[in-house]
Structures are given as C-alpha cells and as structure tokens.
Amino acid sequence: MTHEEYELAASFWTNKDKTDTKMGREELKAWIDDFLSTHKVLALATGGENTIRATPLEYGWHEDALWIFSEGGLKFRGLEKTSMVAATVFDQDPGFGGLKSVQIMGEASVVEPFSPEYIHAAECKKIPLDVLKKLDHTMYLIKICPREINCLCSEFKKKGVGSRQIWRG
C-alpha cells in the first residue's frame, strides 16, 4: 500500500465520526458500565522501546476503573516505561453485524500491595486477604483509569446513532 492508501484506511472511523449521530453521554456511560461489568477478560497492551505485549487478563470494573490482579510478567516492563496502556474487551464470535466491543486507552498504575485501595479491590473481586497474604509471591494490582473508551456496537444503529461511540473521561 502507498502512504496515501494507509492514511485513507487509517482515517475511516475519524471521517465517519464527523457525520454519525452521537449517543447521549449518560446513556453511553450506562452502556459501558453494563458491558464492562458483564465481561471478565480483556487484552491489555503495554509497550516500551522495542517491546509490545498484548496479555489476556481477568479484570474487575468498579469506580470507573479497570482493576487487574497479576502475578507479574513481561507486561510490567512496559508499565515501567510508560503508564499509557490500551485494553480491549469484546464478545466472542458475535457473527457478522453483531459486534460489541470496547477499546480503552488510559493510564495504568501499580497499586501498593495491601494498601487500602488494594484491600478494597480484593474485596470487590471477592479475593480473601488471607489467601493473598499466604502466597509465596506478590500479587500485584494494576489500576487503569480510562481517558477514552471507543465503543463499537452494531446494535447502536437500531437506536439511530452511529455504531461507534466515544466516551472521554
């Protein structure tokens, strides 16, 4: 492909967004809360220098943030380099015209183990603290605060709005 062809492909959604009808902010936020609360696995993209990782992880969604407990792994090299991350959650095998997904761009932080915020996240995930304390390794907690959430849902068209909606924090 030529540079111009790449640019044309890259600008598809940006151009479409200019004319598509937007959903109300509160309605979109309610859809996001419902979608993220009813799913449990995301793909987290981290990177830095010459490394990019896309890691499938369990998550929790509460207090407008993603909360991920992790034993560790190469994703932490990326988190050390930059706090900016991307995550994707989607329905599996939706069939043509049935896509539902969110792509989240946000800022990640590693929460201090056994701090009040860590304890609260464990309670929300129903992870007993005594179990976490007995592990022979640290169970890290990654918190992601979304800056932007791109929602792609074919069903939005039935409501008279564009299939892609963007929420910004």
Tens of pLDDT, residues 62-81: 999 999 999 999 999 999 99
Say if residue 44 is exposed, middle or buried (CB neighbours under 10 Å; 0-12, 13-18, 19+).
buried
Nearest 5°: the CA angle 128, 90, 70 is: 30
**CATH number at 3-168:** 2.30.110.10
Domains in the chain: boundaries: 3-168
φ, ψ (nearest 5 deg) of residue 73 = 125, 175
User: What mean pLDDT comes out for the span 158-166?
Assistant: 94
- 0.85 cut: is pTM over it? yes
CA distance 92 to 99: 9
Residue with tokens 């069939």: 95
pLDDT for position 97: 67
Q: CB neighbours of 17 closer than 8 A, spacing ≥ 6?
A: 162, 164, 166
